[in-house]
Amino acid sequence: MSREQMVEHARLFYDQGTMVGTAGNLSARADDDSFWITASGRQKGQLSTGDFIRVGLNGDVVEVGASDNKPSAETSIHRIVYELFEDAGACYHVHSIHANLVSNMTDGNQLELPPLEMLKGFGIWEQDPLIQIEIFENHLDVPRIAREIQLRFAHKSPQLAALLIRNHGVTVWGRSTEEAKVYIELSEYIFRYMTLAKQTGMR
């Protein structure tokens, strides 16, 4: 079941350094109207299937899992992703060093990605694709970030099933937990490439 997969993926991301401490949150759609998401404040390297909360698309907590589970403020971002993208079955958000570094490569709200082969993993099958990832400002008031995502994507679909929050992290969504995991790994590869390329004076 999806919660077991998320426990496994959180452990993997923890080991890779993108879910350090309690950072980040993973979620998977339970049915059309709700999703399971990691509870607030849990150590991501030591999750169990009881550390999830089921939240409705209206934001209400439907099921708490363990009795002291609390929803994270970042739940609002997951909720918007499920609302915007009907085929999203999972949404993963991690705090990656490389994501934060590349989020500062522009002051604008879009960042051009290098035309790497790895983009095919996101379903982009073009010769030398020109792909921009959308960047959102980080706000202490997380629901404000969610509202800005909702507003921008309501007008224009993103080119990639991923977005950056500046100096905060990356969020991806896929049809399944497996697909979301792959997207996290692909984005990490691309951001790491960009950081290294900048260091070595390449594009």
- Binding-site ranges for Zn ion (CB under 5 A): 169
CB nearer to Zn ion: pick between 40 and 159: 40
CB nearer to Zn ion: pick between 51 and 131: 51
Q: Min. distance of Cβ 140 from Zn ion in angstroms?
A: 12
Q: What is the DSSP string of 126-160?
A: -SS--EEEEEE---SSHHHHHHHHHHHHHHS--SS
CB nearer to Zn ion: pick between 36 and 136: 136
Q: Min. distance of Cβ 169 from Zn ion in angstroms?
A: 5
CB nearer to Zn ion: pick between 160 and 163: 163
Q: Min. distance of Cβ 17 from Zn ion in angstroms?
A: 15
Q: Min. distance of Cβ 127 from Zn ion in angstroms?
A: 35
Q: Are strands 162-165 and 131-136 parallel, antiparallel or unpaired?
A: parallel
Rounded Cα distance between 48 and 51, Å, is 6
